[in-house]
Each structure stands twice: as C-alpha cells, then as structure tokens.
Amino acid sequence: MERNIFTHPCFNQDARHQFGRIHLPVAPKCNIQCNYCNRKYNCANENRPGVTTATLNPNQAMLYLEKVVTQDSRIAVVGIAGPGDPFANPVETLKTLRMVREKYPQMLLCVSTNGLNLNPYISELINLQVSHVTVTINAIDPVIGAKIYSWVRDGKVIYRGQKGAEVILERQLDAVRSLKQAGMIVKINTLIIPEINDQHLPEVASKMAALGADIMNCIPLLPTKDTVFEEILEPSAAQVQKIRTQVKAYLPQMEHCTRCRADAVGLLGEAMTAQCQQQLLESSRSIMAPGDERPYVAVASMEGVLINQHLGEAERILIYEKTDNEFKLIETRETPEAGTGKQRWLNLAQILHDCRCLLVSGIGESPREILEHDGMTIFVTEGLIGEELKLIFAGKTPHGVCSHKAGCGLDCSGGGMGCG
C-alpha cells in the first residue's frame, strides 16, 4: 500500500497541524544511562522523553492502538520511543511493529533509538517498511560523550567513561550509514547541554550531514531530579536559537519539537486527553488482550484459599485456567530452588511461560523485572483467590492493586492520571 511519507509531523513541520502520531510504550528497558535521564519519575503531568503513564506488551499495545485510531482519524504515524530504548527491547519492539503493519498497512512506522543496538535489526525494519528513524547522538567526540553517558551496556558487558562513549559512537555512525543506504529518512536528535556539548553541536551536525542524515533536532536540556545534570540550567531560548542557526548551515532543523513522552498521542503539542490516559491504563491492565497465547493465571498462596505469599517464599505456584463456569485449578508447579540469584527467576519465567499474570502478596524488584520482561503482568494484592480470579478473567484489575503500573515516583499515591 502506498503511503505518504511526508505526513510524519516530526519530520515535516507542514504536517504537524493535520496529522498525528501515537507512541506505543512497549520498550521499558534501556541499554545506556544518560546523565540527564531519570525514568523513575513517570508522572502523567510531565512532558519529556522517558515518561509514560504505563507500559504495554505488544498485544496490549494493539488493543490500545485500536481504541485510539477508532476515535482519532488524524493518527498517521505509529512510533516506538521507549520509555527505554526500542532495541534494548527488540522482541517487543519488532513484534509490535509487525502487528501494526499487518493490521494497519497504511500507517507510517517509526522508531526513536540511541543507536547502540540498532544495526542487527535494520534489515527487519526494512522488511516492515519502517520509513522514519530517529537516532539520538549527543557527541561525536568520545571525550565529550564520556561526560554525557554514565554507562553503556553492550550485551552483558558494561562500559564506562570514554570507552563507553567510543562504543556507542561507533554503533551510531554505522547505524546512520546503514539507514541511509537503505533509503530511510533519518532524524538526529541532540540534547543541548550547556557547558558540556553546546559548543560541539556544529561538529555533530557536520558529521551527520556527511553521513546523509535528513534533519536534526536540537533539544534543550530539561533538568531532571536525581540525575547528574539536575543542577545544569536549561538553555535559554536565545541560546537554543543561536545553536540552531549555527547547525542549520549543515542540516535542516526541526524547530517544532514538543519533547514527546513515550506515550505521546495526537497532534504535536496536544496534551494527552483523559480519555487516552484511561484507555492506556485499561490496556496495560488487560489480561485478555487479543492475540495472547498464555491462557493461565499463576497464584502464590500458602493454603490455596488466599493470595498471601511473597514470591520469594513460595515453594509452589498454583495454576488456574478459565472455564465456561468461571475457572479451575489445573495444577501446582514447584518454584526453582532459592540461592541461585537472578537465574532462579529466569528459570521461573520458563516454568510460568504459559501464564499471562501472577498474583502475589509481595515480590522483589529483580523477579518483577525478569517476569515482566518475559511478558507476564504482576499483581501485588491480597484476598480470596476466587474473588480475584473473577476479576482477572473478566479483564479487570484485582482489588487493592495500584492502577498506575509505571508509578510516578517514590511518593506516588495517585491513580496515574496526574498529580493534583
């Protein structure tokens, strides 16, 4: 199906008032730590990259997308921009893109990435007809890059300092070359960080132009709490304009950026509506999302009546199945032996591979991260198993569970619809 590549509102300013985009937040993990980024504070009132009201698995993302496009005919672009990096979550990213391409062949597809792990997936992006790719490149000098990146994780190896900056820069340059050779439209995002890289940006622009990049977006730093750069002042409008004028000699500038969230939706500059926020939350809680191939629900219980066991203490997990008349216990499964660290939870993920969610009275950060990355939804709750399963199999949230899956910080006590 023929698509109009000029309807992407981020790459074409003339399209921004007519065509909208939707970011599907299916990529929670990141493979680098930038000194300006903190994804812990995910308040719905914030408007910056790395923030989302909730994260979704691919099937939940499709459920959400269908709701949005039904009510907003302006959506022309489906993008994945975090809240981590798409290619630190390649399985989720590519599955989502494949599903979108199949169901909505007319949509433009795009991704926004740091470029570290992009190269292995470019051929698949080509096959999926992804037309627009944004790569965030903050420096082409590793000495400067070392001031920006706290660490860079390449597979199981973590690099720090100048070595980390060298690793990511090499991957970024190769990625931009490969993307342009494939005929994709490439935008370069660069943070303007006063006294760190602000004098360096013309060099970045010159190099990107030489590689064939199409457009550049110089984004002023937004100081964020609990980051290395939280005390650096946001550059003034005059400073930003001066830099954009300098780099415009090398590349056209995107001057209408709105610092999109990882769950941005609608026209650029529009705030997410309460309706979309609610739909996103509902989709993130959906246990029966279309396309799921995990029919069972797992429960940690000491006696088989109440949800009253912390996962770390559970020696067995109860497995339930939906039936015509409600549900039934089909079996119990032993948990892996304690004392093996992270491997215990990786083994548990295999044991519960056909379970779509897990009900526990408590869970540690490491098992939660591993099980959620494997596609399982975790509900920390208490109460009668039967009552909670009725809600689960009806596609509802169990009692006592915070509806704000992502959390908006350590002091959050709300429901994910923004702080009052």
Question: Residue for token digits 């959506």?
Answer: 75
Give the confidence band of 6 by pLDDT, cuts at 50, 70, 90: low
pLDDT given at position 407: 37
Residues 41 and 117 in one domain: yes
Per the listing, tokens 């340059």 go with: 173
How many Cβ atoms sit within 10 Å of the Cβ of residue 309? 22
Is there a domain that residue 332 lies in? yes
Q: Are 184 and 270 found together in one domain?
A: yes
252: domain range?
5-284
Judgement on whether residues 78 and 176 belong to the same structural domain of the protein: yes
The count of domains in the chain is 2
Q: What is the pLDDT of residues 150-172, one digit of tens each?
A: 999 998 899 999 999 999 999 99
Predicted confidence (pLDDT) per residue in 85-131, tens digit: 999 999 899 999 999 999 999 999 999 999 999 999 999 999 999 98
Residue 419 within a domain = no
Same domain, 45 and 170: yes
pLDDT tens track for 269-328:
677 778 877 888 778 766 655 455 678 999 999 999 999 999 999 999 999 998 877 889
- Say which CATH number the domain at 317 has: 3.30.420.130
Residue 205: pLDDT over 60 = yes
pLDDT of amino acid 51: 74
Cα-trace Rg, the chain: 22
Top-confidence residue, 378 or 412: 378
pLDDT surpasses 60 at 207: yes
Sign of the C-alpha dihedral, residues 71, 72, 73, 76? negative
130 and 76 share a domain? Answer: yes
Q: Do 224 and 272 have their domain in common? A: yes
Structure confidence at residue 417 as a pLDDT band (50, 70, 90): very low
Q: Is residue 407 part of a domain?
A: no
Q: Between residues 94 and 416, which one has the greater pLDDT? A: 94
418 within a domain of the structure (yes/no): no
| Whether residues 310 and 267 fall in one domain | no
Boundary residue ending a domain (284, 307, 325): 284
Band (9; pLDDT cuts 50, 70, 90): low
Answer yes or no: do 171 and 279 share one domain.
yes
What pLDDT does 399 receive?
Answer: 65
Task: Assess whether pLDDT exceeds 80 at residue 142.
Answer: yes
Residue 120 forms part of a structural domain: yes
337 plus 227 within the same structural domain = no
Q: In the listed set 284, 319, 345, which residue is the last one of a domain according to the structure?
A: 284
Give the pairing type, strands 32-34 and 149-154: antiparallel
130 lies in a domain?
Answer: yes
Same domain, 240 and 303: no
Instruction: Kindly state whether residues 221 and 122 are assigned to the same domain.
Output: yes
Residue 290 lies in a domain: no
Q: What is the CATH number of the domain that holds 140?
A: 3.20.20.70
Tell me: pLDDT of 409 over 60: no
Average the pLDDT over 199-219 and give the result: 95
pTM: 0.72
How does pLDDT run across 307-321, given as a tens digit for each residue? Answer: 999 999 999 999 999
State pLDDT tens for residues 357-396: 899 999 998 999 888 877 788 889 988 999 988 888 776 6
Quickly tell me which residue has 């672009």 as its tokens: 77
pLDDT attached to residue 406: 37
Q: Are 42 and 89 in a shared domain?
A: yes
The reply to whether 387 falls in a domain is yes
| Residue 408, pLDDT score | 36
Spatial CA neighbour of 142 closest among 166, 161, 122: 166
Per-residue pLDDT tens digits for 31-44: 999 998 886 645 55
What is the rounded average pLDDT for all residues in the chain? 84
Which of 284, 311, 327 delimits the end of a domain? 284
pLDDT digits (tens, 9 = 90+) for 64-81: 999 988 887 788 889 999
Please report the pLDDT score of residue 298 as a whole number.
Answer: 95
